[in-house]
Chains A and B, each alone.
Chain A
Amino acid sequence: MRIKEHPVLEFKRGKMIKFNYNGRELTAYEGETVAAALHAAGIKTLRKSTEFQRHRGLFCAIGNCSSCMMEVNGVPNVKTCLTRVTEGMVVAEQRGKGDLGALY
């Protein structure tokens, strides 16, 4: 959920863009991170743990903990808390450790 009114802060939001999440079209503001855009859409589960399939979400938001990694434009293990969302970006929940085969 987005903050609509705030007593102190003003949010300078970029232009509205569209991106794809697990096959669904979502909107976001240009310049915000993928994790923030997903949170704004009410999506908190970003991936599942590789061994026990436990749900994982955003935790540190500074690129340190790896809890928010997803597949972005076909690249696995992307830290969505550091990655800015762009028009037409394809974001997907990752299965397992991710396959680098397609890239190298």
Chain B
Amino acid sequence: MVLYTDLLVVGGGPAGMAAVLQAADSGLSVILLERYDQLGGQLVKQTHRFFGSKDEQAGTRGNVIARAMEEELEQLDNVTVLLEATALGYYEDNILLVSAQHSLKKIKAERIIVATGAAEKMLTFPNNDLPGIYGAGAVQTLMNLDGVVPGRRVVMVGAGNIGLIVSYQLLQAGVEVVAVVEAARQIGGYLVHAAKISRTGVPIYTGQTIKRAYGNGEVEGVELWQLDHNWQGIPGSERSLAVDTICLAVGLRPLTDILVQAGCQMAYVPQLGGDVPLRDDNLKTSNHRFYVAGDAAGVEEATAAILEGELAGLSAILELGAKEGQSLEVKKRTVKKKLDKLRKGPVGEKIRAGLLKVRRDGNAGKDRYSHTG
């Protein structure tokens, strides 16, 4: 049996939920897929207060924002939420195959918004598959959600903001952080986070990386070495640290498998975390049915994901002929302005550079969402 819907949103994190909420009064049928047994994505794990402007809910904790969006969503009777539902693949004739609570469903949608988020990046080194090696997100989940520590002695790889913050959270949980290791010559994260770590006596080694992990079946230690200016290990510079846990905080990559299957034109853009789909200024990809939003469009943060979700949602339902088209156009312009504002300044520099490479509307060189440039 095939399910038909106007709009299908894949991923119930901040971007996906924001997209669905736009369809509230549209009269369109909407299906939202979420792999986990609850909505919210990584937002539910963000127990810190948001930065930035009041408009974008600064000062509110991520898990509170997620809960509020979910409550709003529950009110909508044109929306079907499928939990424990994984999109397995996109097939000919516009069929999306879904495993929903262990049964298979085929879904045909007029428009599909891919808001699948991102996955932890891996580093290549011998024995990188040993138990005891975790992505930073996994360590956060274990510690902050489950109240379980990953081990007793940890080496953190990556001194960006995530590596520094998770190191501090490990210390708070009573875990010994033996060192923070960073391949670049400088610490990537904010100084305030680095200072917090340094004050506790944890060394931050720059210009170094993992040569290999070792251990009989599980991590027992790690060998580090120094890097030369071509990022090559320097023989003779090795040193070993006895640790039972290696935490990798080396970035995230967008989850774009469905978009690749749908034949969307892709581009490798390091500033956005990896392979991402080309898109126009409404977040529509080169496949006319597909939109992208949130980390799947380029790794950024939750506020940008929410705004992108709103933009993709509004654009898709406008195309589908939603009832109150006029007011939606106005709303869409406001969202674009907010995104512009969010990405202004030095903090947004990397994202802006990345976004210039993924335009597909012939306006390369202008800011992606700018209407003035």
Interchain CB contact under 8 A, B135 and A2: no
Complex-state Cα separation, A49 to B142, whole angstroms: 23
Complex-state Cα separation, A33 to B45, whole angstroms: 15
Complex-state Cα separation, A6 to B148, whole angstroms: 11
Taking a contact as CB atoms closer than 8 A, the residue among A5, A32, A49 that contacts B146 in the complex is: A32
A10 CB, nearest partner CB in chain B, Å: 9
For B346, list chain A residues within 8 Å (CB). none
Interchain CB contact under 8 A, B129 and A56: yes
Complex-state Cα separation, A86 to B328, whole angstroms: 46
Q: Total interface residues on A, using CB and 8 Å?
A: 35
A9 at the interface (CB under 8 A from B): yes
Taking a contact as CB atoms closer than 8 A, the residue among B35, B129, B143, B150 that contacts A54 in the complex is: B129
Taking a contact as CB atoms closer than 8 A, the residue among B119, B174, B218 that contacts A62 in the complex is: B119
B273 at the interface (CB under 8 A from A): no
B149 at the interface (CB under 8 A from A): yes
B36 at the interface (CB under 8 A from A): yes
A44 at the interface (CB under 8 A from B): yes
A89 at the interface (CB under 8 A from B): no
For B174, list chain A residues within 8 Å (CB). 3, 5
Given contact pairs A45-B218, A61-B141, A8 touches B172 in the complex (Cβ within 8 A): yes
In the complex, residue of chain A having the shortest beta-carbon distance to the beta carbon of B36 = A82
Chain B interface mostly helix, strand, loop or mixed?
A: loop
A91 at the interface (CB under 8 A from B): no
In the complex, residue of chain A having the shortest beta-carbon distance to the beta carbon of B143 = A3
Chain A interface mostly helix, strand, loop or mixed?
A: loop
A36 at the interface (CB under 8 A from B): yes
B166 at the interface (CB under 8 A from A): no
Given contact pairs A60-B137, A62-B137, A82-B36, A44 touches B142 in the complex (Cβ within 8 A): no
Interchain CB contact under 8 A, B147 and A61: no
A103 CB, nearest partner CB in chain B, Å: 9
B171 CB, nearest partner CB in chain A, Å: 10
A74 at the interface (CB under 8 A from B): no
A46 at the interface (CB under 8 A from B): yes
B225 at the interface (CB under 8 A from A): no
A18 at the interface (CB under 8 A from B): no
Complex-state Cα separation, A39 to B175, whole angstroms: 15
Further 5 A-B residue pairs, CB within 8 A, beyond A2-B149, A59-B133, A64-B255: A9-B147, A11-B146, A60-B120, A60-B137, A61-B135
Binding site for A on B (CB under 8 A): 35-37, 42, 47, 84, 86, 119-120, 129-135, 137-138, 141-150, 152, 172-174, 217-218, 255
Enumerate 23 A-B pairs (CB-CB under 8 Å) in ascending A order.
Answer: A1-B149, A2-B147, A5-B174, A7-B172, A36-B145, A39-B150, A55-B130, A57-B218, A58-B138, A58-B142, A59-B120, A60-B137, A60-B138, A61-B137, A61-B141, A61-B142, A62-B119, A62-B141, A63-B35, A63-B36, A63-B86, A67-B129, A82-B36
